[in-house]
Chains A and B, each alone.
Chain A
């Protein structure tokens, strides 16, 4: 099968999603910033007392808060989580992820298991990783290799 069929038929669980960074609703923005930095993620999943996701808190919200100014770092993230967010079941086809990213204008979608528990976060990066497998290696590396090689001294 080709890329189109695989996007239509393969489940979201075949994408390389990572464990989400989970924070409770009461966590301060400062904790989210630290967790995102440490985890190398642009998004945390905000959960209620039962571990059920209530929303996402992303780099985009942080950028808005910085622009607004004020002492927001110690405010609870529950005040700032994004109203519009989406989840996708791990067994749904990858095309559903594409539709949700686009329909909601999101960068990240929370992946949930059959019980509704958050098991991962997926964004465009995972989608790009999946698609990049379908194309030859020469388009994958040439620019970055060229940039690296220019920085190395050669010859006498």
Chain B
């Protein structure tokens, strides 16, 4: 794998120099936000309450649960262990235009199995990097024993970031 950092900004204009390592520094040069994102843990973030469902629940059941709880995703749990995740994106990609035909199908057939997770002692920076790299909006949080602790979601992540900024007047 390339060791060059991924460029997530608009590319430099022709002739304009852009140093790909310009944000890399040692701990002494980190600002307070960078330090907090690196040195605190996911457990310090406002973790979204979780809503779980069985993999042998029907799609219809899951859709109703999401609507009732007004959540963007459900964690799919079997015998106390995380086995998958079902999100509004799964609904869009695999369900919506044939819902009436497949609403009795088991969730395990349309969920995303074995989702990427973070540990509760990982840094928020790691969670953000996983969101960026994988394109995930929601990442389950597990403890060292693989028990589900919660979910890092976009709204809570934004709220966490906003703690560092005063609102414009």
Contact = CB atoms under 8 A, between A and B. Distances in A.
A63 B63 contact: yes
B80 interface: no
Nearest to A58: B88
A105 B154 CA distance: 10
A68 B100 CA distance: 12
Interface of B: 1, 3, 5-10, 23-24, 29-34, 37-38, 63-64, 66-67, 72, 88-89, 91-93, 95-97, 99, 114, 116-118, 123, 125-126, 128-135, 137, 154-155, 157-159, 161-162, 164-165, 167-168
A140 B130 CA distance: 6
Interface of chain B, main secondary structure: helix
Contact of A128 (B23, B117, B132): B132
A62 B63 CA distance: 11
A37 interface: yes
A145 B72 CA distance: 27
A16 B128 contact: no
B63 to A, nearest CB: 5
Contact of B31 (A4, A96, A101, A141): A4
Contact of B88 (A13, A14, A62, A143): A62
Interface residues of A, number: 54
Contact of B38 (A30, A96, A135, A147): A135
Contact of B92 (A33, A127, A132): A33
A27 interface: no
Contacts of B3: 137
B114 to A, nearest CB: 8
Contacts of A141: 1, 133
Given A2-B30, A73-B97, A42 B8 contact: no
A22 B17 CA distance: 34
A33 B97 contact: yes
Contacts of A135: 34, 37-38, 125, 128-129
A73 B93 CA distance: 14
B31 A140 contact: no
A121 interface: no
Contacts of A59: 72, 88-89, 91-92
Given A33-B96, A131-B37, A125 B116 contact: no
A37 to B, nearest CB: 6
